[in-house]
Amino acid sequence: MNKIYGVIGDPIAHSMSPDIHNDAFEKENIEAVYHHFHVKPESLIEAVQGMKALGVAGFNITIPHKTTVIPLLDEVDELALAIGAVNTVINENGRFIGYNTDGIGFYKSLCDEISGDIKAKKTLVIGAGGAARAIYFTLVKEGVKHVDIANRTMETAAHLVSDCPYDKESKALTIAEAEESLSQYDLIIQTTSSGMSPHIEHSPLKLDQLKADAFVSDIIYNPLQTKLLREAREKGAETQNGVGMFVYQGALAFEIWTGIMPNTARMTDIVSNKLGGNTC
């Protein structure tokens, strides 16, 4: 009998997770199937109970359930607990154990693209939401010491810095302050929804002070090249979109479930083809 995996969220029909996971199961000759599960917030408790009763082998979690699912799990990984969000659950002998592969997925995708020692890069994270939290905590946990946070609401950025339990050198900035000091940063990471389709002409900050040898990463992958990345390229910077983060967070979930790291290049091709372009 095929094992059952899936992803829960609201909305969920747009998710490309079934495309990459079902292909990986087939490629690795694993008898399993991965489904969408549309779960509204008021049905989350019953959904998790039902998945446990049905013996679902594992599942991913997306908006808006990444935080609210935590009290419903039997155990949560240390990093996921620090971040305060879970995006991957494995069923181990009837116990649901939660992990967060978003931050480490981003970090691994970054390692594939960026040149030089990431840990020595002076880094600026734009945004202070859930994605920023996962990326920020993971970066400093991995040894990137100097990571500043810029956000429209300064207080939210300051709270994010104070919440981080790992050793770091960080400060909170307004967007205006970040724009003025942008030439100080080697790595800029954009984590907000600004520039996401259909609002493709939006950008979270001005790049007037961006230095030409900077690296700019935007976790958005629809469109594949946001206005921010386009402008960064015009200034000579290297850029990265969000496809790599999406692929790696899924690949790491697959590894948690099966013990096998799938072919991330193949996953990238699947996502790229579905989005109608290359990933550059």
Q: How far is CA 236 from CA 105, 223, 253, in A?
A: 26, 20, 35
Question: If we measure between CA atoms, which residue out of 204, 213, 228 comes closest to residue 183?
Answer: 213
Is 143 annotated as contributing to ligand binding?
Answer: no
Neighbours of 36 (CB within 10 A): 16
Is 97 annotated as contributing to ligand binding?
Answer: no
Is 80 annotated as contributing to ligand binding?
Answer: no
Q: Which residue has the tokens 């747009």?
A: 14
Q: Find the length of the chain.
A: 280
Is 105 annotated as contributing to ligand binding?
Answer: no
Is 16 annotated as contributing to ligand binding?
Answer: yes
Is 109 annotated as contributing to ligand binding?
Answer: no
User: Where in 172-270 does DSSP place strands (E)?
Assistant: 172-173, 187-190, 215-218, 238-240
261-265 long-range Cβ contacts below 8 angstroms, 24+ apart: 262/20, 262/24, 262/27, 262/28, 263/24, 263/27
Is 102 annotated as contributing to ligand binding?
Answer: yes
Is 98 annotated as contributing to ligand binding?
Answer: no
Coil, strand or helix: which one is 58? strand
Radius of gyration (C-alpha) of the chain in whole angstroms: 19
Known catalytic membership, residue 40: no
Is 62 annotated as contributing to ligand binding?
Answer: yes
Q: Tokens at residue 115, please? A: 């040149």
Is 221 annotated as contributing to ligand binding?
Answer: yes
- Please, which residues have CB within 8 angstroms of residue 26's CB and are 6 or more apart in sequence? none
Is 184 annotated as contributing to ligand binding?
Answer: no
Is 87 annotated as contributing to ligand binding?
Answer: yes
Question: If we measure between CA atoms, which residue out of 264, 233, 234 comes closest to residue 251?
Answer: 264
Coil, strand or helix: which one is 116? coil
Catalytic residue among 27, 66, 119, 145: 66
Q: What angle do CA 109, 110, 111 make, to 5 degrees?
A: 90
Is 127 annotated as contributing to ligand binding?
Answer: yes
Is 74 annotated as contributing to ligand binding?
Answer: no
Binding-site annotation, residues for NADP(+): 78, 127-131, 219, 242
Which residues are known catalytic residues?
66
Binding-site residue set for shikimate: 15-17, 62, 87, 102, 221, 249
Annotated binding-site members: 15-17, 62, 78, 87, 102, 127-131, 219, 221, 242, 249
